[in-house]
Amino acid sequence: MINNTVKDIIAPCLWGAAINSLDLEFDKFLIIERALEHGGDRQIEFALATFNHDDIIYVVQQSSYLSPRTVNYWCLFFDLKREDTKCFQKQYRYLWPPF
């Protein structure tokens, strides 16, 4: 479970989640993802201090929720190739992938 101090820090980023039932380890992908996309200085500092850089890099590379602007920033921060992220991979032109 998450203590009240942590809840106060991450709550602004997780408005659609049940904060009281979150677990820092189990829900780290969601917490990191929302902190990177919607967080301010306080949430970013929390994410960088709480989670190891490999976990944050994994979220940057695998998230389909993060905006291109956010992914680009964190790619520069961690010296990652944008092409290695889901956000910047070639997308299908059509709603449904071809057979």
Give the global pTM.
0.86
pLDDT at 15: 83
Q: What is the DSSP string of 27-82?
A: THHHHHHHHHHH--HHHHHHHHHHS-HHHHHHHHHH-SSS-HHHHHHHHHHHT--G
User: In this structure, is residue 93 part of a structural domain?
Assistant: no
Whether residue 39 is contained in a domain is answered as: yes
Is 42 domain-assigned?
yes
Report the first-to-last Cα separation within the chain, whole angstroms: 44
99 in a domain, yes or no?
A: no
Give me the domain span that covers residue 22: 4-84
- Span 63-75, pLDDT tens digits: 989 999 999 999 9
